[in-house]
Amino acid sequence: MDLQHVRDHLQHAYNELLCSIWDCKRMDHLSFIVNQIYALNDVYVVAVYQWHGTYYKRLLLHQLKNSTYATPEKMTIEEQKLYERTNEKGYPIQITEDYLLLITTRKPMQASIRSFIRSEVINMLDVMQGQMNERTQYQFLYHLTVTLFVQKQKSTIVEIILHAFKHFYPTNKIQLLLSQDTEIDVDYPIEPIEYNDKQSVSLSTKAFISGEVQVEKQLETVSSIFLPLTGNQGVCGVIQLFGKGGHNFSNQDILFVTNVAKTAGKAIENASLMEHNKRLISELKLINDVTHHLNSNLDLKDIAEYIRDTILEICEAQEIGFIFYTETGEMTILQASTDYFHGSDSFTTFLMEQEMRATFHGNYNAFPDLPYRSLICIPLQQGVKVYGMVVLMHSSSYFFSFEMFKFMQSLIQHCSLAFFNTILKEELQKAVITDDLTKLYSRNYLEGKISQQRQITRNGSLILFDIDDFKKVNDTYGHHIGDNVLKQVAKIIRQFSNHHAIPARWGGEELAIYTPDKEINEAVVLAEEICNYVENNTDPPVTLSCGVSTWKNNCNDSISELFVRADRALYKAKHRGKNSVVRG
């Protein structure tokens, strides 16, 4: 065993102890010290004794397995001196008044090595008991810095600091105060830093605002120290150390805890930046994944449902609405929107009447009786043209963070082009199958859909409408008014058509609805309702004649025969006196 080896080994052990003091109990520290000495060359017994008034009592023992050497469980001062004289390879080393270290070696141990072991063990015990001199404090700060700056979680950093303070100042109360925009999840009571007028003069607030340590004194004794957790870009909180419990803070203490708080503040800021960067990378990856998915030739329904599900997973909104303007300026709500938007036309109309810009509300109350307080509105636009809006809502106030609002803006802006291109594509497709004047489906489209429906449904009914005396309307009011009447009737037919029905322009002033899975009696009732509504809600007022026919899949029936029967029934209605419904 040589001195240099002992020096290197124990100084490394001392540094390791400095890094772990906040996590271990007293006996753990003693055990650590014993293990480190036992690991030295030629050592095969290490024991620690503590003074009990008239004798030393053994606390810890570490010796070679199957060793026949017996160390005493108790040792008086006389026995200690006798041990020193009679055992040339057993060395009782007086560490402090309270602690005695007994080391037994295979070979004699030099006095210089025993002296160095004693000094290093004293240093370790000082650290263990929270009694550090200026040199030890700077060593501790070095290792604390190394430890904190490899942490990725802010909560871990705060827990390490709190444990360290508790270790060095075990009788002092500690209070953690955080700013309202700082989120750190630790199992420790946290108080918010107040900013109102009453609190503006408090030392905790001053420490937070100025970033400088504040000391509160009573009768020339430090009663509290307010330590700001300061980074390069601001202060995230304050740690308050109360000077009660028998410990008075010296100037050296104040300097030490100030340096600890500064180290912690920079480490927390560093972890926050890492979290922020990690979140940005995650958000960019998500936006990239969403963009790739939206480029896979989806229809508008699939795109809206995919974006809805993605948003629900990210921000846990309770309601999501997709609101669009049609070419004619009408407002439409996509089917992918959640339930509230399908039952509240007044609210969506109110929203679309506001200035179309991105807005973020934590306590929204502009619309009466709205059960939601947190609201994000993000316009959908192509160039300078706004063609719709995405709305997110939650019943809790301040549920969405501002960072989430900014991310939703970015995500929806990237989706906006996919929305716009899909809408444009579907409008072009619709233009091919839609009558330009009435916006009803074309006759060719209707015939094709009836052919498809006959393969998958049990039955269906075709309703043909003809506007009575339409030539007279054109002759009396002009063709412009005649076109307007056609539009009015077409709009009413669309209103009475559920999402399964197919409204179409049959030709001229003749219009039609095909209703899958409806018996002829149900279709007749629907036709009568439409006829009554048209008679009372058109300007100038017009009436309809109507023919209804049906088919069943257990009959050998053709599409052309379905059309012929409906046309014959319409002819009968015309010659029966008009404004009537006839089944064929």
Q: DSSP letters along 194-251, please? A: P-STTTTTSHHHHHHHH-S-EEEEETTEEEEEEEEEE-SS-EEEEEEEE--SS-PPPH
The answer to whether 376 touches 359, Cβ cutoff 8 Å, is yes
Q: Are strands 99-105 and 43-51 parallel, antiparallel or unpaired?
A: antiparallel
- Measured CA to CA, the distance from residue 512 to residue 462 in angstroms comes to 7
- Measured CA to CA, the distance from residue 40 to residue 44 in angstroms comes to 9
For 179, list phi and psi in degrees, rounded to 5: -70, 160
Return the structure tokens found at 15: 């540094």
For 504, list phi and psi in degrees, rounded to 5: -150, 160
Q: What is the pLDDT of residue 327?
A: 62
Return the structure tokens found at 316: 């846990």
- Which residue in this structure is represented by tokens 């030392």? 203
Regions of the chain where pLDDT drops below 70: 15, 18-26, 65-69, 128-136, 180-181, 195-201, 244-248, 282-283, 294-298, 326-329, 423-429, 431, 553-556
Tell me the per-residue pLDDT of 517-564, one tens digit each, with 9 for 90 and over: 888 999 999 999 999 999 999 999 999 999 999 987 656 678 888 899
What is the enclosing helix (H) or strand (E) of 310?
Answer: helix 300-315
Q: What is the pLDDT of residue 131?
A: 61
- Measured CA to CA, the distance from residue 526 to residue 463 in angstroms comes to 9
- Measured CA to CA, the distance from residue 463 to residue 583 in angstroms comes to 9
pTM: 0.46
What is the enclosing helix (H) or strand (E) of 15?
Answer: helix 3-20
- Measured CA to CA, the distance from residue 57 to residue 45 in angstroms comes to 16
Q: What is the pLDDT of residue 436?
A: 85
Q: What is the pLDDT of residue 199?
A: 47
Q: What is the pLDDT of residue 18?
A: 62
- Measured CA to CA, the distance from residue 449 to residue 548 in angstroms comes to 18
Q: What is the pLDDT of residue 464?
A: 96
Return the structure tokens found at 537: 């809600």
Q: What is the pLDDT of residue 371?
A: 92
182: Cβ–Cβ under 8 A, 6 or more apart, which residues?
236, 237
